[in-house]
Amino acid sequence: AQSVTQLGSHVSVSEGALVLLRCNYSSSVPPYLFWYVQYPNQGLQLLLKYTTGATLVKGINGFEAEFKKSETSFHLTKPSAHMSDAAEYFCAVSPMNTGFQKLVFGTGTRLLVSP
Amino acid sequence: DGGITQSPKYLFRKEGQNVTLSCEQNLNHDAMYWYRQDPGQGLRLIYYSQIVNDFQKGDIAEGYSVSREKKESFPLTVTSAQKNPTAFYLCASSIDTGTSTDTQYFGPGTRLTVL
């Protein structure tokens, strides 16, 4: 069974600093990979996803993530944090070629941004 | 505007009562999903449906029931058999392309509290 590990339930950064949120997956076959963001008391919104092709994926709001097969990782980064980036971030995987998407989510990382 | 609506936003239930959470989408998506979110546990799949009049159990279906009589609607009933129903419930939908690369779009959620 596939699983996702997000290291750090909370990450704190200063405004303008680099954001790095870690995600590792466990799967015998590389899955499709997703990052979602959740603002307080709201649903989730897709930031970016990796399916095939270029391993560096750019998403919305200046975020990007790099798929590294050798490290089974899909870490999310942003060069300069904004106060508006404060939210909870979820990494998720979906097995390839199952004919239907069934997302498996990590436990989430809450990003705190201080002035 | 296209999107997913969930109602009510907040719901209070007495022990022993069944309650039904509404989920409606006007995105013309074939697939719909229900997730449960608990603090520190990420999202867990309750039920999903790929087509009208068909649905499948997810990872934590016990104590829940669903129906899919119309393409745009996928209500979730939390029954009295669910031992710990207090949680944030999220509905999602996606185009079902027959692959696992689809993006899921989420509603704003319903927060259920058992008194």
**CA-wise closest residue to B36 among B16, B58, B14, B20:** B58
- φ and ψ at A91, to 5 degrees? -95, 145
Q: What is the DSSP string of B91-106?
A: EEEE---SSS-PPPEE
CA B55 to chain CA mean position, Å: 12
- φ and ψ at B28, to 5 degrees? 60, 30
Residue type, B89: Y
What pLDDT does residue A98 have? 66
Q: Is B60 on the interface with A (CB under 8 A)?
A: no
How far apart are the C-alpha atoms of A36 and B73, rounded to whole Å?
24
Q: From the candidates B48, B55, B99, B105, which should be mutated to test the interface with A, based on the most A CB atoms within 10 A? A: B99
Give A62 or A29, the one with higher predicted confidence.
A62
pLDDT (mean) for A26-38: 88
What single DSSP character describes residue B41? T
Residue B12, pLDDT > 70, answer yes
pLDDT (mean) for B56-85: 95
Burial annotation A68-93 (CB, 10 A radius, 16+ → b, else e): eeeeebbbbebeebeeebbbbbbbbb
| Partner residue facing A107 (CB), from B31, B40, B48 | B40
What pLDDT does residue A99 have? 65
For residue B73, name the pLDDT band (cuts at 50, 70, 90): very high
Residue A12, pLDDT > 70, answer yes
How far apart are the C-alpha atoms of B94 and A30, rounded to whole Å?
22
What pLDDT does residue A53 have? 84
| Partner residue facing B45 (CB), from A32, A102, A106 | A102
Q: Is B50 on the interface with A (CB under 8 A)?
A: yes
